[in-house]
């Protein structure tokens, strides 16, 4: 007797993919899922590799969104940039949660395969450097790390010399009629941004008359969201490292937890934090 068709059974699902692209083809899953190579064979090394690969994938999307936001702000399309910056904040939230997963790795487990990393370290993440560059924290000395790869070194050098997110935001203030010191508007963008009174006064005026400067106010809050989430990511990174290796030197030669604590003190958009005291 023929089986009665289940009322919930789908009848139009495509099953023949001999000449069609599949989900796995579109995402290039075979290459993606075969990119985890444990050097030690230790069970927990898979966790360590995957967490860092996932973080790098999210960083790729952050850079995609940040670069688009910079371009939008330069064109005066502030509303378009808000969606991109909100997405960056959401991505950062996901990255923060990833540290909770890595924290399930105990010190004893990590030490069983740590030596296999050699001098490799998250300190060398070029995408993270490009995110810092995009946010205005320029550290030209780190480019030496990437001299092994001339093409990559060139990309980083170009990113170092490009205006960052805050540079174009300050330009937006100037275009809106705020008095920004010429030295700020014409500064060498390959150097780390430092707070300026004229920029602080401009943001203070924005916050004191939100209705008049609504779009700039929205931009300011989006910038704060991005920095806030990134600093929380940095903090969770530091605590995860501290939990797993204590105060040992990092595999790449950095001071480890000491270095991570130090960078927590840096503010990407200092005036936006200063005005909170003065409003």
Considering the entire predicted model, what is its pTM? 0.92
| Residue 230: pLDDT band with limits 50, 70, 90 | very high
* H-run or E-run covering 156: helix 150-160
Q: What is the CATH code of the structural domain delimited by 42-276? A: 1.20.58.480
Beta carbons within 10 angstroms of residue 76's beta carbon: 14
User: What is the average per-residue pLDDT within 10-23?
Assistant: 80
pLDDT of residue 8: 63
Q: Give domain limits for the chain.
A: 42-276
Query: pLDDT digits over 187-217, tens only?
Result: 999 999 999 999 999 999 999 999 999 999 9
Report whether pLDDT(7) > 80: no
Beta carbons within 10 angstroms of residue 274's beta carbon: 16
* H-run or E-run covering 263: helix 257-263
Query: pLDDT digits over 131-147, tens only?
Result: 999 999 999 999 999 99
Residue 4 neighbours by CB under 8 Å, 6+ apart = none
Q: Are 237 and 254 in contact (CB under 8 A)?
A: no
Per 3-state DSSP, what percentage of the chain is helix, strand, and coil (rounded to 5)? Answer: 65, 0, 35
159-to-9, 140, 153, 162, 181 alpha-carbon distances in Å: 53, 10, 10, 5, 24
Instruction: Say which DSSP state 19 is in.
Output: S
- Residue numbers belonging to the annotated binding site for substrate: 110, 114, 251
pLDDT of residue 5: 54
pLDDT of residue 58: 98
Instruction: Say which DSSP state 20 is in.
Output: S
- Residue numbers belonging to the annotated binding site for heme: 237
Q: Are 19 and 69 in contact (CB under 8 A)?
A: no
136-to-83, 85, 167, 187, 194 alpha-carbon distances in Å: 20, 15, 8, 12, 9
User: What is the average per-residue pLDDT within 254-268?
Assistant: 89
Query: pLDDT digits over 104-124, tens only?
Result: 999 999 999 999 999 998 889
How far apart are alpha carbons 133 and 100 in whole angstroms? Answer: 27
| Residue 4: pLDDT band with limits 50, 70, 90 | low
| Apex 35 CA angle, 31 and 38, nearest 5 | 155
Q: Are 202 and 179 in contact (CB under 8 A)?
A: yes
Report whether pLDDT(2) > 70: no
pLDDT of residue 1: 47
- Least confident interval from 43-52, 99-108, 252-261: 252-261
Report whether pLDDT(14) > 80: no
pLDDT of residue 237: 95
Number of helices and strands in the chain (H, E): 13, 0
- Residue numbers belonging to the annotated binding site: 110, 114, 237, 251
């Amino acid at each position: 007797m023929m089986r009665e068709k289940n009322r919930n059974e789908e009848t139009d699902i495509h099953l023949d993919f001999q000449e069609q692209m599949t989900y796995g083809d579109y995402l290039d899953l075979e290459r993606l899922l075969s990119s985890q190579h444990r050097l030690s064979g230790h069970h927990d090394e898979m966790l360590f590799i995957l967490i860092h690969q996932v973080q790098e994938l999210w960083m790729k999307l952050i850079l995609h969104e940040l670069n688009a936001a910079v371009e939008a702000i330069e064109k005066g399309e502030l509303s378009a940039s808000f969606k991109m910056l909100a997405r960056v904040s959401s991505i950062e939230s996901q990255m923060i949660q990833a540290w909770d997963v890595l924290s399930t790795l105990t010190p004893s487990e990590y030490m069983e395969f740590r030596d296999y990393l050699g001098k490799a370290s998250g300190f060398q993440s070029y995408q993270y450097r490009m995110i810092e560059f995009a946010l205005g924290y320029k550290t030209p000395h780190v480019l030496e790390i990437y001299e092994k790869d001339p093409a990559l070194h060139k990309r980083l050098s170009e990113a170092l010399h490009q205006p960052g997110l805050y540079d174009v935001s300050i330009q937006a203030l100037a275009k809106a009629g705020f008095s920004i010191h010429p030295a700020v508007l014409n500064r060498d963008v390959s150097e780390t941004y430092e707070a300026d009174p004229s920029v602080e006064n401009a943001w203070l005026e924005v916050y004191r008359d939100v209705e008049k400067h609504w779009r700039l106010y929205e931009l300011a809050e989006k910038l704060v969201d991005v920095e806030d989430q990134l600093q929380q990511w940095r903090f969770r990174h530091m605590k995860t490292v501290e939990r797993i290796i204590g105060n040992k030197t990092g595999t790449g030669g950095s001071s480890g937890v000491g270095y991570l604590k130090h960078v927590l003190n840096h503010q990407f958009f200092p005036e936006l934090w200063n005005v909170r005291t003065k409003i």
